[in-house]
Structure 1
Amino acid sequence: MLGDSVASPTIWIITVVVTVGVLLVDLLIIGRRPHEPSMKEVSTHLAFFIGLAVVFGLALWFFAEPHELSPAPGPEFFAGWLTEYSLSVDNLFIFLIIMSKFSVPRQYQQTALMIGIVLALIMRAVFILVGAAAINQFSWVFYVFGAFLIFTAFKLAKEGGEDEEEYEENKLIKFVEKRFPATKEYDGTKLFTKENGKRLITPMFLVILTLGTTDLLFALDSIPAIYGLTKDPYLVFTANIFALMGLRQLYFLIGGLLQRLIFLSYGLAFLLGFIGVKLVMHALHENQLPFINGGEHIEAAWLEIPIWLSLAVIVGTLAVTTVASLAVSRNRDQKELAAETGPRRDWENG
């Protein structure tokens, strides 16, 4: 599996080791000094991770050799990274609700997010390997991925205007809450504690479990989406790493701004639909199903959407969605403020 990649086994190992090292350092620093980060702190760290992703993508663009699974490594990485990042921003809505539901103190939220991100990376790595294996063995899986993304896009667009507060605990969390005794109070960042000689789980345990399993559900659409942009498991893996690395800082930096991105769900729905159609078109081009075109490939140039066009659609959609959201939100806020203050009298204006 590692050989079917733009990266050699050695590069894979180096990437995994560096990722684990960065995560361990981050965990040790946060674990030693739980705190609510300042805007300067999160801005600096976020700029570092984004800069690192840009440098990594440019290095792939100029130095990575094209491969059968990755004809354009650099553009494919940027398309995948931007898609994963935008989906991660949407996921922050749910993370905010989870933190609020469990009443997580602000100084402990970094720890919860960090451990949740580590769990997410592990689970996504499994998803990526399974997806790569399925693609290598069964070309028809692109039909499944494409249909699923189109369905998800339709569902996301339909629910885009609904209240984000409709989060509901998954069955695993409900099972754990019923079967395992837990304290009602936090014991720092500890996952377990003792009360009256009994070992109990803490609310922090439930928060981290909720964040990890929730991200697993998010991966059900994000992993097929990125496989619609690149078939190289190394690019899929690194795009997910860079998207998740800056997620914790983004959570603290734009928590209030999230409420203003009112069209984000619609923009993401369009992107997922676009990638879903792209996957179906690719599946037709690589078709081996006997009941479609007699089991033969459908040779048509228009069935293969070039990566530069995909990258342009992704950047354009995110830009339009963000600008439109902020413009409409600002106009709405001004109208609400005017309604609260009422019309000003002439004598008030001097």
Structure 2
Amino acid sequence: MNVSLTVWLLTVAALCALVAADFFIGRKPHDVSIREAGTWTVVWVVLACLFGVGLFLFGGAGPTGEFFAGYVTEKSLSVDNLFVFVLIMGKFAVPSQYQQRVLMVGVIMALVLRAGFIAAGAAIISAFSWVFYLFGAFLIWTAWKLIQDARKDVHEEEYQENKLLKAVEQRFGVADRYHGTKLWIEENGKRVMTPMLVVMLAIGSTDVLFALDSIPAIYGLTQDPYIVFTANAFALMGLRQLYFLIGGLLRKLVHLSYGLSIILGFIGVKLVLHALHESGVHVPEIGIPFSLGFIVLVLAVTTITSLRAAKKQEAAEAEADGEGVEGVEGWSEERSAT
């Protein structure tokens, strides 16, 4: 799809306006309610759908299908990112009323960083068509690693600060407590960072690692930089509200990593087939309608099986607790009788 510079500028301006509106509406630190998070989540999903309708009117069914396939994929991958965000919030003991501000700034940083990845990916693809082999192999390897990590239950591990974040902390110093939403303070005559800034940098820099698989994944669905950027933007911009909406549900999505591994592996195979086709090898290619249907089906099945497994586990734990209580009561009665 040919997108003019004017359309690019208008799109970026519109996204900036939406981010600014979201920021000023929720600028006052507060605990985000389920109702507020749910309302804004619906708003961002509706906006993404309206954008998809606009693509259909001006670009046709092809770009629209690519956008929704990319949007659903990026959204599902971003849900997995929330596991790490929960660990980061716990690691830095972020007060609940400040968490929405941390996520807002962190998501904006992530969007800017991803824009750089998207531009680099577009340049590499246009210059080297064989890069699809590398992207495909990387996604297949990532899918396998995701399965291995799911078996080890890595989400229960403690968040470890990366080297860049540690270097920044050592260079500027960090205050020993939060000072509202301030990012810098004067302490003993020296300007130091607050924990608020540190946790924002942690979320922003951590997303760079997530981009290493999400950007190749969406380029496996579309090679249009405009669609790649807008799909990422809409997926990320609703992430803050999704954090508060499904925060308690995250641990119940026990099969999510398996579903994501299937999706990444599927896109990896799709990329390899596309690379072979571009090299002149006659192999079947996987179309966007099939890709979108497959991704949605995998996510639906994964969610259903996760909730069922979580319900069975809760029932088993409740039964075990009940048996434990009965055992203690029986032991107490026996001692009373003697």
2: distance between equivalents of 1:191 and 1:212?
A: 15
Question: 1:139-179: per-residue Cα shift (whole Å, max 9, x none)?
Answer: 00101111110110010011112231323211111212223
Partner of 2:41: 46
- Kindly report which structure 2 residues correspond to 1:1-350, keeping only aligned pairs within 5 A, or say none: 5-31=1-27, 33-65=28-60, 72-163=62-153, 164-166=155-157, 167-287=159-279, 297-300=280-283, 302=284, 304-342=285-323
2: distance between equivalents of 1:233 and 1:93?
A: 28
Q: Which residue identity lines up with residue 136 of structure 2 in the other structure?
A: G
Alpha carbons 1:6, 1:234 under 8 Å: kept: no
2: distance between equivalents of 1:203 and 1:103?
A: 9
Q: Which residue identity lines up with residue 98 of structure 2 in the other structure?
A: Y
Q: Which residue identity lines up with residue 150 of structure 2 in the other structure?
A: G
Corresponding residue SS for 1:34: coil
Q: CA deviation at 1:57?
A: 1.4
Q: Which residue identity lines up with residue 316 of structure 1 in the other structure?
A: L
Q: CA deviation at 1:242?
A: 0.8
Alpha carbons 2:172, 2:191 under 8 Å: kept: no
2: distance between equivalents of 1:145 and 1:238?
A: 21
Provide closer, same or farther for how the CA distance between residues 343 and 132 of structure 1 changes in structure 2, counting only shifts above 3 A.
same
Question: 1:107-164: per-residue Cα shift (whole Å, max 9, x none)?
Answer: 1011110000110110111111110111111100101111110110010011112231
2: distance between equivalents of 1:36 and 1:161?
A: 34
Alpha carbons 1:193, 1:202 under 8 Å: kept: yes
- The root-mean-square deviation of aligned C-alpha atoms, in Å, is 1.5
Alpha carbons 1:42, 1:249 under 8 Å: kept: yes
1: distance between equivalents of 2:112 and 2:152?
A: 32
- Structure 1: state its 5+ residue gaps: 67-71, 288-296, 346-350
Question: 1:250-292: per-residue Cα shift (whole Å, max 9, x none)?
Answer: 00011010000000000000100000010011001112xxxxx
2: distance between equivalents of 1:165 and 1:173?
A: 22
Corresponding residue SS for 2:233: helix
2: distance between equivalents of 1:50 and 1:27?
A: 17
Partner of 1:290: none
Question: 1:52-99: per-residue Cα shift (whole Å, max 9, x none)?
Answer: 111221332343147xxxxx1111111000000000000000000000
- Percentage identity across aligned positions? 56
1: distance between equivalents of 2:151 and 2:103?
A: 27
Alpha carbons 1:187, 1:202 under 8 Å: kept: yes
1: distance between equivalents of 2:26 and 2:89?
A: 17
User: TM-score normalised to the size of structure 2?
Assistant: 0.93
Q: CA deviation at 1:6?
A: 4.0
Provide closer, same or farther for how the CA distance between residues 305 and 337 of structure 1 changes in structure 2, counting only shifts above 3 A.
same
- Structure 2: state its 5+ residue gaps: 327-338
Q: Which residue identity lines up with residue 326 of structure 1 in the other structure?
A: L
Corresponding residue SS for 1:103: coil
Q: CA deviation at 1:198?
A: 1.9
1: distance between equivalents of 2:125 and 2:60?
A: 22
Q: CA deviation at 1:26?
A: 2.4
Moved more, 9-18 or 88-97: 9-18
Corresponding residue SS for 2:290: helix
Partner of 1:294: none
2: distance between equivalents of 1:343 and 1:180?
A: 52
Question: 1:21-69: per-residue Cα shift (whole Å, max 9, x none)?
Answer: 12123233333x1111111111111100011111221332343147xxx
Partner of 2:329: none
